[in-house]
Amino acid sequence: MTPAHTKRGNRRYRYYTCTNAQKRGWLACPSRSIPAAEMDKVVLEQIRGACPHSGPGDGELIIDGQGRFDRWWQALPHQGQGEALRGLVERVDYDGRAGQLAITFRPGGFEALAEAPAEAAVGPEEVPA
């Protein structure tokens, strides 16, 4: 899928369109286009589910699962969210026939996320004393 948009008046509509359809015609692709908001929501849920957790004494730099990801994500400005996703996700494939989504993460992407500034991962209820 390839990101695209169209404008009608002052509104901008984001969507993803089938790359094969762009290259080989619409008959080459089972799904034409998908609203970006829907796809983005599914991708974020998949990323949240893939966030590594640490066990006691692992000693590795970790994200600590979904909670830290959520706090980090919410602390980012809108533009920063796109940059962060590009650093974490290498590729997203969507099979329209099967209705399946596959995400390929960049090597070291989660490690880079774990090294993000602490203030981006600490919620208001967890401000260090």
The DSSP annotation for 68-83 comes to: HHHHHHHHS-HHHHHH
In tens, the pLDDT along 80-127 reads 888 888 888 898 888 877 888 889 998 888 777 666 654 444 444 444
> Is 1 a member of any domain?
no
Residue 29 lies in a domain: no
Mean pLDDT of the chain: 77
pLDDT-derived band of residue 9, with 50, 70 and 90 as boundaries?
A: very high
- 98: in domain: yes
- Quote the pLDDT of residue 65: 61
Cα(97)–Cα(92) distance, integer angstroms: 16
Q: What pTM was computed for the model? A: 0.68
Would you state the pLDDT for residue 123?
45
Q: Is 7 inside a domain boundary?
A: no
Total number of domains constituting the chain: 1
pLDDT, greater one: 32 or 98:
98
Q: What is the DSSP letter of 129?
A: -
The residue range of the domain holding 48 is 35-126
Report if residue 39 sits inside a domain: yes
* 9 domain residue, yes or no: no
Contacts of 119 (CB under 8 A, 6+ apart): 75
Res 99: pLDDT: 81
Do the domain assignments include residue 109? yes
Instruction: Give the count of beta carbons closer than 10 Å to the beta carbon of residue 51.
Output: 19
Residue 14 lies in a domain: no
- pLDDT at res. 72: 78
Tokens of 48: 């949240």
Model pLDDT, residue 2: 84
Percent of the chain with pLDDT strictly greater than 70: 75
Q: Above 90 in pLDDT, residue 10? A: yes
